[in-house]
Structures are given as C-alpha cells and as structure tokens.
Amino acid sequence: MIKSLLFIILAAASAFYPQSAHWLRIAEKAKPDLHHARYTPVRMVEAVPDSSAFQGWRYLEAELTPSQTDTMVLRHGQVLTFDFGRHLVGYLSFSTRTLRRCQDGPLRLRLFMGELPAELNTPLEPWKAWLSRAWMQDEIITVYETDRVVTLPRRLAGRYLKVEVLATSRDFDCALTDLSFDAVSSAGEDTGFRRTASPLLDSIRAVSVTTLSECMQTVYEDGPKRDRRLWAGDLYLQSLANRYSFRNFGLTKRCLFLFAALAADDGTLISNIFESPQPHPQEGSYMLTYSLLWNSTLLEYLLDTGDTLTAQTLWQVAKRQTEDALTYLTPEYIFDIHKRDVWLFFDWREHEGLDVSAPMQAATIFALEQTYELARLLGRTAEVKQYPSVAAKMRRAALRHMYDARRGVMLSGSGKQLSVQSQTWAVKAGILSGAKARKALTTAMTDPKAIQPGTPYATHYLVEAMILAGMPEQARAYLIDYWGGMVRRGADTFWEAYDPNDDYISPYDFFPVNSACHAWSCTPVYFIGKYPDIFR
C-alpha cells in the first residue's frame, strides 16, 4: 500500500524539478480540514416565468412549507422545489416515510440542485453547450426501500433543490422527509472589515466573501458546481481576496506547491489541477498568462506571510516561467503570440475575436517586474538582473508598435483591434500612466466598437487599472454598478460570466451550465479591503 502510494506520488510529480515529489508531500500536508454545517430548507418555492427577471425566471414563495411535505403523499408527476435560503456546497440527504400500507415497488425521483432559477427551469435538451451535460446537477434516484436515509454521493453546489416524482405505486403511500444538507468549506472565519458607508457595497462585499468561501475547499476551486478544480489565474485573485477575509494562507501555500510539483517536464506550469484520485494536472493545458500569474501569487504570498522558506524553495519555478515567456520575444522586444502554440487567456471573448497581442505584451512586462520584485525580496536579483531593462525595452516597443497617439489607445494585432482588455493591461504594466492611461481607458470603455469585458475576471483588472490610472471615483462607481448589478438581479454568489447587457452570456454556448459561484468573481472584498479611501 505504502509502496503503491509512493509510486503514484512519483508518477505524478514533475520530472523537471528533482524535489517535486517532496513538494507534493508538502502540499498534501497543507491540505486543510473541511468545516461542516448542516442546513435544512427554509421555504418552498414555485417557478414563474418573468421576462424582467434574470434569465427569465423567478421563484415565488409557495404556500406549502418544507415541514408539510413530511405528511404529503408523493404522486407521479409531482414537482416540489425547496429553497435552502443560501448557496451551499456539500452533500444532500433525504429520507422517505411510508404513510399507508407497505412499499410494493420502487420509487423513482429526479433530484436537481441548482444555483439559479433559470438553470432549473430551462429545458436542457437538446444540449447546446460544448461542455459535458453531466455538469448539470440532476440525478435520478431509485428508492427500493423507504424509511431509510439516502445520501447522494455527488457533491453538489446550489441553493435550490427541485424534486420530481418520476415513478411511484398506487398500492402504497409515502412522503419525502428529512431533507438536509451537509455543507463543507475550508474557509473559516471572515476577519475582514465589513462596514462601508454604503449598504449596497456591504452586500457586494458579503456576496463576494460567500463566493470565496464556497470555492475554498481542499484547494481554491474555480467553481464548486463547475469545474471544481484549481486554476492558476483564479488562484491569484482568490489569494488576494483571502487576504482581506479569511487569511487562510495555508491553503494558498498548498496550491502553490501543487502547481510546482505537477509542472510539465520542461518546468513550465500547467494551468489547472485536479485533486482526485491523486493530484494531477490537466495534461497539455499550457497557458502562459496563468503560469505568470502564479509568480505573482507567490510574491503576494511572501508579502502576506513572510514565509521566505517557501518562496526560496519555489523561486526556481518562478524564474522558469519568466524565462519561458522571454523565449517569445522578437529582436524588437515584441511578444510574438504566434511563436508557439500557447493559450493566452485574458477573458472569454472568443466570439468577438479578442486579440491578445497587446495584453500579452503588457502581461509579460508585469510578470518581469513582479518576478524581479520577488528576487529582490529573496536577495536573488543577480540571477535576473536583465529583467528591468527588458521590461523597459518592451514598454518602449509597445508604445512604438501598438500605441495610436492620435486616438490615445493601444491597438492589438495586425487588425489593430481596440479592446478594453488591451488598455487595462497596458495600465497594469505601466506602459500607460497618468492622463494617457485615463484617456485610453475612457476611450475604449465608451467606444461602441471596442471589445468590452465579458467576465468578472477581466472586470477585476479593469477596476484595478482605473485605480492605478487615478480614476478612483469611476473605479468605485464601476465596481458598484457591475457587481451591484448581479446583487440586484438576485445573486447569492457572484457569477462566472456577467454582461449587464446580456443575461444569457455564456462562454460555453449555453447559459445553464455557467458557474454561478465563481472564484474569479470574488474580488470586491479585495478592493474594499485594499483601498479604504475609495471604497469605505
């Protein structure tokens, strides 16, 4: 047993870093315990189509109460929807009670857990998404023996439970009883600052903290409904939000080590990791934008904890990621996005054809600076002494080749595409600052032809860019308008994709599969915590 376990660990660990099996053990040691809490439904609801509601459906409180179902005979075709009153992640149990005679045939139920009303009420067939239909949390359960507790093996995420009676028998009566939810999270206690001058901002903060805590399991998951794994880009934003809420830095450490231990054979990081049956990366998912953000996560972790041992240990991994990025540079110091096959993710805007040349030029500059700062804190600048001058040359090259001085914006690629994302990252990387930065951001945000952010991920960087550019009021208004828009539309947790002008936006071509509790959407708590003058 011990031998086979060792084999699994060695087999999964990266061949590039000799210490990777040890790193995997460090990660496993830092695996947190999950806190459990039990919830029962607070009310029953009925779905009502409503074109003014988010995605066309709303729930109204039903007359029936959850406890009344204890004595209600289940009949074929019946539909009952329970509301747990808040978003939960964990395990659902129920029981059935014989009310008349004895069970003479199996009972069949369809249990469907969901995060949002429309998810539970939109016809799912024909399935239109390019992701698996099985991400939807509907399960058909056959109960052969009533009067017993059934616990669904699948971990679920959501607030509402719809129960449909698919089959029962006329020769006996039974009721659905003891619905209960064992909720799990590793988050712990929110110790952050909670009261601002605005009740809406307080609600935004509360929803963002719930979003984060639901995603904090034995790793920082991207979404507890979908796709339940650790992504380096999501990790970066979660670790920032964690600083101003749970301060659970052990979880960050675990995730940093998991990525390092499971790096590809050339030492580059793989963008996402699964934990079961043993930690393993999604083979081949090479995404340089996220690998570079891992460096920033390590830097922020060091600043938060002072854990120089971890930072020194993982320094070689950080250096390897920036070295990799530098191999894409042309002699003119332009990042060539076509050099190799690589995923450069900045936003879900595939249909709009988001060009990533300008954002990637900026993201590389940012990564060089962050990695140099890490080196400085670790006394290792001699190893990366060229980074500041490479970053400076890249900045000048960006201004020469990508900046349209007449319009005052960065344009991306051979098609000279205007996007908010290009301005955002140019500001983050210091290519544009002061009045130039403000002009670029404002122009792109108000040009109807410019590509706008499609996710809270891209919006996070936009709000940050506004702050850096000296637009604090606009940043505050934008955050309140964007995340507050989700709150007004009934969000218990923040959504993976949100466009105030398109309720049905989906990166996967079918909105019910979207994750409605998503890691990268949790950063209002970070902004409120980090910038008290702007947000409190």
Rule CB under 6 A: which residues touch ligand RAM? Answer: 222-223, 227, 231, 233-234, 345, 520
Shortest distance in whole angstroms from residue 459 CB to ligand RAM: 14
CA distances from 483 to 3, 54, 206, 423 (A): 50, 14, 11, 21
Place of tokens 């809490």: 37
Q: Is 205 strand, coil or helix?
A: helix
Shortest distance in whole angstroms from residue 284 CB to ligand RAM: 14
**Positions of E strands within 255-314:** 272-274, 280-281
The residue (of 422 and 514) whose beta carbon lies closer to ligand RAM is 514
Structure tokens at 191: 């110790």
The residue (of 328 and 520) whose beta carbon lies closer to ligand RAM is 520
Shortest distance in whole angstroms from residue 348 CB to ligand RAM: 7
Structure tokens at 84: 């747990």
Contacts of 51 by beta carbon, 8 Å cutoff, 6+ apart = none
The residue (of 192 and 233) whose beta carbon lies closer to ligand RAM is 233
Q: CB of 534 within 8 A of CB of 477?
A: no
Q: Report d(CA 413, CA 513) in Å as an integer.
A: 32
Shortest distance in whole angstroms from residue 319 CB to ligand RAM: 24
The residue (of 390 and 505) whose beta carbon lies closer to ligand RAM is 505
Shortest distance in whole angstroms from residue 227 CB to ligand RAM: 5
The residue (of 347 and 464) whose beta carbon lies closer to ligand RAM is 347
- Where b means 16+ CB within 10 Å and e means fewer, 319-339 reads bbbbebbbebbeeebbbebee
The residue (of 115 and 227) whose beta carbon lies closer to ligand RAM is 227
Closest to 421 in 3D by CA, of 357, 500, 506, 472: 357
Shortest distance in whole angstroms from residue 292 CB to ligand RAM: 14
Closest to 244 in 3D by CA, of 295, 206, 217: 206
The residue (of 227 and 324) whose beta carbon lies closer to ligand RAM is 227
The secondary structure of 347-407 as a DSSP string is -S-TTTT---HHHHHHHHHHHHHHHHHHHHHHT-GGGGTTHHHHHHHHHHHHHHHHEETTT
Shortest distance in whole angstroms from residue 31 CB to ligand RAM: 21
Shortest distance in whole angstroms from residue 234 CB to ligand RAM: 5
The residue (of 97 and 128) whose beta carbon lies closer to ligand RAM is 128
Q: CB of 534 within 8 A of CB of 154?
A: no
Contacts of 397 by beta carbon, 8 Å cutoff, 6+ apart = 332, 333, 334, 361
Shortest distance in whole angstroms from residue 456 CB to ligand RAM: 10
The residue (of 227 and 300) whose beta carbon lies closer to ligand RAM is 227
Q: CB of 410 within 8 A of CB of 423?
A: yes
